Amino acid sequence: MSFCEKVFQKEAVKHIWRVCHFFPMEDPEKNENPDLPQISMTGQTEIHPNDLLVLQRIFSEAEPINALYTEECIDPLALHFVPENAWSQQNVSLHFLHEDYFGRKNNVNRRFEHKLWNALLITQAFPNMTKLVGVTWATETVIKVYKFPFAKLLNITAIDGGLFHKQGNFTRHGFVTLSDADAKLRVPQEQLADVDFRDVLLIMHGSQQFTMKSNETTISQCKWESPGGATRVASLKTDVMPILQSS
């Protein structure tokens, strides 16, 4: 292997880890890309010379994602982020919003329901950011959640516990997951292509207070209420977010 190839190999390993760190698209325990060289947790790898072309292709695909993450193209005021009185007119990047807003701890000025709404506004305006933001509208009432990138955006490390279990953010704010049967009734087939109900899920607000047509007032009323009856018993037994079943 030439000196240049050795340098490229070293930089390749660092670049792959950097991309995977900022843009986790799926379960990090899995490596389902047969083209991607196996990299140990210590960062050591043996890359066959034939893999260099593969890595160059991967890099060429990753660079637009890097650019999209850092491009200052999002104007929160123009997109009508909520609460509107908290935002000024300026173009910022998703990276900036992650560091300064989405990734910071929830409080009275950074409420989860507002973060979710603002994230959906971004993907409405910039659909190509969906896999970076992690949420998008599937219909006027149903939200598609890519749980790994969305958790990364919010700096949530215990993903299922922080989002979907009975004390998770979605559940505490009145959202329910759609079952496979209910999803087929409510969501167009083309929106179901990448839904596996594990890493990519469909949710909706149980009392329809959080829909595409909601406003700041109704969004702010999305408070968690203890589920009643069989739903409450089921959620307590399984410690997971209630599932909406077809009637």
Structure confidence by residue, pLDDT tens digits, 148-198: 999 999 999 999 999 999 889 999 999 999 999 999 999 999 999 999 999
**Domain boundary assignment for the chain:** 67-221
CATH (residue range 67-221): 1.10.10.10
Residues 19-48 have pLDDT tens digits of 444 444 444 444 444 444 444 444 445 556
How far, in Å, CA of 218 to CA of 210, rounded? 7
Mean of pLDDT over the chain: 79
Say what percent of the chain tops pLDDT 70: 64
Taking residues 135-158, report their average pLDDT.
Answer: 97
Res 67: pLDDT? 86
- 134 in Cβ contact with 149 (< 8 Å): yes
pLDDT digits (tens, 9 = 90+) for 206-218: 999 999 999 999 9
Q: What is the pLDDT of residues 77-117, one digit of tens each?
A: 999 999 999 999 999 999 999 999 999 999 888 999 999 99
Rounded Cα distance between 164 and 203, Å, is: 10
What's the pTM value of the predicted model, to 2 decimals? 0.71
* Cα-Cα-Cα-Cα dihedral sign, residues 5, 6, 9, 10: negative
DSSP H helices in 82-228: 94-97, 112-125, 130-133, 147-153, 159-163, 169-172, 180-186, 216-219
Whether cis (ω within 30° of 0) applies to the bond prior to 83 is yes
CA distances from 8 to 4, 35, 91, 95 (A): 6, 17, 35, 27
User: Which stretches of the chain are DSSP H helices?
Assistant: 3-22, 51-70, 94-97, 112-125, 130-133, 147-153, 159-163, 169-172, 180-186, 216-219, 229-238
Q: Tokens 């990047």 label which residue?
A: 93
Residue 236 predicted with pLDDT over 80: no
User: For position 78, what pLDDT does the model report?
Assistant: 96
What's the rounded mean pLDDT across residues 44-64? 58
